[in-house]
């Protein structure tokens, strides 16, 4: 079973087995400094966990593009969330015709471990950010918890891992992003890279 098949098979029960602390999500979004009118790309949206939080931050003038390569996850997200300023896209973010240099914030919430080439992911996702835009790699659990959970989960995701902050700083630097925030403790994992302003 590949990753897409695995996440499609989990879509219907995902929300009953994955819990997300709203307060921690709030902390992450505070660090990301998402503002009214921002354009946000929600990569690996899953069932749309972040969508209501993002919509409340960007307001009616902003927009959220929610992408997932598992079409059944997107179906669930659409069923749960009906906002005029949210666009749902089923497909691999690396192969989609997405505008480069367009988004204020690219959110990778609970998805980064599942990318194969992590440096390539940072380079591609960073390319979607406009000058001054941010790439946010984050989890509302610790790095150790995330890595342990994947190790003990399905064979499909058992080797998916979240690298440490130092490794991500190196990836960011290679992709032309400067690290502007880093939290790697027993509660949260958040590393934010910012593209140089024009």
CB 50 within 8 A of CB 73: no
Cα–Cα distance measured from residue 152 to residue 72, given in angstroms and rounded to the nearest whole number: 24
Range of the domain at 10: 3-195
Q: Which of 44, 55, 60, 106 is nearest to 81 (CA)?
A: 55
Sign of CA dihedral 101, 183, 45, 83: negative
Cβ-proximal residues to 181 (8 Å cutoff; 6+ apart), any chain: 31, 190, 191, 192
* Number of alpha helices (DSSP H) and beta strands (DSSP E) in the chain: 8, 7
State the pLDDT confidence band at 140, using cuts at 50, 70 and 90.
very high
Instruction: Write out pLDDT tens, residues 160-174.
Output: 889 999 999 999 999
Q: Take residue 156 and report the two structure tokens written for it.
A: 């499909």
What's the pTM value of the predicted model, to 2 decimals? 0.94
Q: Take residue 135 and report the two structure tokens written for it.
A: 């790439």
Helices 165-174 + 118-127 axis angle, to 10: 50
Q: Phi, psi at residue 74, to the nearest 5°? A: -65, -40
Instruction: Write out pLDDT tens, residues 16-56.
Output: 777 789 999 999 999 999 999 999 999 999 999 999 999 99
Query: What is the domain-level CATH number for residue 85?
Result: 3.40.50.150
Average pLDDT over the chain reads 92
Q: What is the structure's pLDDT at 19?
A: 77
State the pLDDT confidence band at 8, using cuts at 50, 70 and 90.
low
Q: What is the structure's pLDDT at 72?
A: 95
**Number of compact structural domains in the chain:** 1
């Amino acid at each position: 079973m590949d990753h897409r098949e695995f996440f499609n098979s989990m879509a219907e029960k995902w929300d009953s087995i994955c819990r997300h602390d709203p307060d921690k999500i709030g902390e992450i979004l505070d660090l990301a400094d998402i503002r009214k009118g921002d354009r946000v790309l929600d990569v690996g949206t899953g069932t749309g966990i972040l969508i209501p939080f993002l919509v409340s931050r960007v307001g009616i003038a902003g927009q959220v593009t929610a992408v997932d390569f598992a079409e059944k996850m997107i179906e669930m997200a659409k069923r749960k969330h009906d906002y005029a300023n949210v666009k749902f896209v089923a497909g691999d973010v690396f192969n989609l015709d997405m505008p480069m240099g367009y988004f204020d914030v690219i959110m990778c919430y609970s998805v980064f471990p599942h990318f194969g080439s992590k440096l390539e992911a940072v380079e591609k996702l960073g390319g979607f950010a406009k000058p001054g835009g941010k790439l946010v790699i984050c989890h509302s659990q610790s790095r150790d918890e995330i890595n342990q959970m994947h190790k003990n989960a399905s064979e499909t995701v058992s080797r998916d891992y979240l690298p440490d902050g130092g490794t991500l700083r190196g990836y960011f630097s290679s992709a032309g992003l400067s690290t502007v925030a880093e939290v790697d403790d027993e509660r949260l994992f958040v590393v934010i890279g910012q593209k140089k302003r024009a």
